[in-house]
Structure 1
């Protein structure tokens, strides 16, 4: 009978190890392979909610060009030529979205005298890439796009970058690599560190109420995708950025809490501004208060002496916005 105890212990240990491995694999899968939204669904959602003026988009001058990612795939960039000026803004979407989601900001920047460039981030839309890494690999894609765009601009032309959610985190991480080629950043609802963000989501959305789950996910992500969660840390990157940054967040955001933007701002408050809107779930600040959002962008650009309103600028007339309920 005594001889069975070592065997039983071995079986229990093996079962526990298998369960832990399965949990780590499952969490890392969820992180790396989050389900994407259909591009046509995004287009219909933006048009129906009046965030994308289909007639304006149809008639505005557009062109596409290819940038080769250092990660090994082509990135198709879409340029909206809305002004004779060379001033340009690159806009990055968040996780599960595509460049179509970025177009809701296009008319804002067109009114402000900027051309607009959007593209699908890694493993989104028509851009290849095995995994989503929340800025770790994506920042090098953005670096390649910035270099390509800047090479076609005059020295005195302005180049800004706006990111939403993962796009904001990507933008800040790129800025920490090199802030010499762009003039300003607008970071809408960025997370401060991916380690804290994953912990928050696991606590909020799953029955896994332990910090060990994050450590387990970190181990599997490092083995499977080549980076650690601690390496995805916008809060460290912002301390290396000297260019002006506008942080935007909504107080109702429960996916990425507004305290993360507050932490980013506090990490290096010099030459930065934090705007907190009362309304809006995650990445909904513009959707809930588009006119106030545009006013805050204008104030940022003017107050930080980046650019001024074009002489023909006209503040948009308020339109009724249809609330679109997104499926889970």
Structure 2
């Protein structure tokens, strides 16, 4: 597939990828140390160091490398996708598909989803197109990335037994999870999808851009001009990327077209999110107010994608409790609460809980 001239969104993606790479570089282990391990897990050794020294959460470290397998699959539109299979629960056929944020990569959705393994799940975490080790083609902020998620879903169906399935997504990954759960609900019903965990999602690319303007550009672009500018930006992108219309990258559009929510969802967001609009999550909750099993946790503060780091105990307690309610699995819930001390707060935890 021919790589097209880089556009605005892909310039932004490149900036974030390079920034994350620079920030992670000091955590990289020495080549001498890496020689002891299979090359496929070298990136995971580096992110384990980040989790230890920056997140300061040993619980999220993944060092049972014998349970980690690097696989490759195809998205539904033929893009090469790289993924990790993490299978610490060998006798379990419960799976979660973990989707990362824009500019991130599969290691982070894997670390962030680790609590699922404590509740009996195995994880498949993948790189979206243009990210990590997947094929380097332009991003579409979720519009075509849904085909990546569906390709991973197809691979899982073809290669593993699925007794039960969950979707977990962060930011762009949450957008994609919410989108596919609406648009492909019949397929997911057949695969026993039980629920979704949606962390700091946006509902549409248009609203995402409006929010970014409101946060970062309000001193430079008036409200009267912003919609016109964003429409021009989207039109220009649509023109450069044939057969693409970013206006279709909208969960709200699917709802307007009559797609009905089928799967219970746990929503996370922070009121002060500087990247994705928390109002989109509020609207999801309102639109779905008759959906049995929905739940949410809205924080007063958290850096984008970092609720798990800044509110580690309340975040993981909420997910574990939600999984327990969906699966009727109290035993594993009590075990992880005890193992991770999720109701025992030190000063840092207490401050986070008081301010949440």
TM-score range, shorter chain: 0.7 to 0.9
Question: Which residue does the alignment assign to 1:294?
Answer: 316
Name which of 58, 76, 84 aligns with 1:78: 84
The alpha carbon displacement at 1:32 in A equals 6.8
Question: Which residue does the alignment assign to 1:139?
Answer: 146
Q: Is 1:38 the equivalent of 2:54?
A: no
Gaps of 5+ in 2: 1-5, 26-45, 349-356
Question: Which residue does the alignment assign to 1:228?
Answer: 245
Map 1:252-267 to 2 at 5 A: 252-267=272-287
Question: Which residue does the alignment assign to 2:327?
Answer: 306
Q: Deviations over 1:205-246 (max 9, x none)?
A: 232332211011011111112422321112234653301111
Gaps of 5+ in 1: 1-24, 322-328
Contact 1:113 1:309 in 2 (8 A): no
* SS at structure 1 position matched to 2:70: strand
Q: Is 1:212 the equivalent of 2:219?
A: no
Name which of 158, 163, 181 aligns with 2:164: 158
Contact 2:197 2:265 in 1 (8 A): yes
Q: Which has the higher contact order (CA 8 A, sep 6+)?
A: 1
Name which of 269, 275, 278 aligns with 2:300: 278
Name which of 265, 268, 271 aligns with 1:251: 271
Change (3 A) 1:314 1:27: closer
* SS at structure 2 position matched to 1:78: strand
Q: Is 1:174 the equivalent of 2:180?
A: yes
The alpha carbon displacement at 1:54 in A equals 8.0
Name which of 176, 182, 195 aligns with 2:206: 195
> TM-score under structure 2 normalisation?
0.74
Cα distance in 2 for partners of 1:72, 1:194 equals 23
Q: Which has the larger radius of gyration?
A: 1
> TM-score under structure 1 normalisation?
0.80
Higher share in helix = 2
Contact 1:75 1:127 in 2 (8 A): yes
The alpha carbon displacement at 1:286 in A equals 1.2
The alpha carbon displacement at 1:101 in A equals 1.4
Contact 2:119 2:323 in 1 (8 A): no
* SS at structure 2 position matched to 1:57: coil
Cα distance in 1 for partners of 2:238, 2:341 equals 49
Question: Which residue does the alignment assign to 2:39?
Answer: none
Contact 2:13 2:103 in 1 (8 A): no
Contact 1:285 1:293 in 2 (8 A): yes
- Between stretches 208-217 and 58-67, larger displacement belongs to 58-67
Change (3 A) 1:26 1:301: closer
Map 1:106-121 to 2 at 5 A: 106-121=113-128
Change (3 A) 1:250 1:32: closer
* SS at structure 2 position matched to 1:143: helix
Contact 1:33 1:131 in 2 (8 A): no
Change (3 A) 1:47 1:177: same
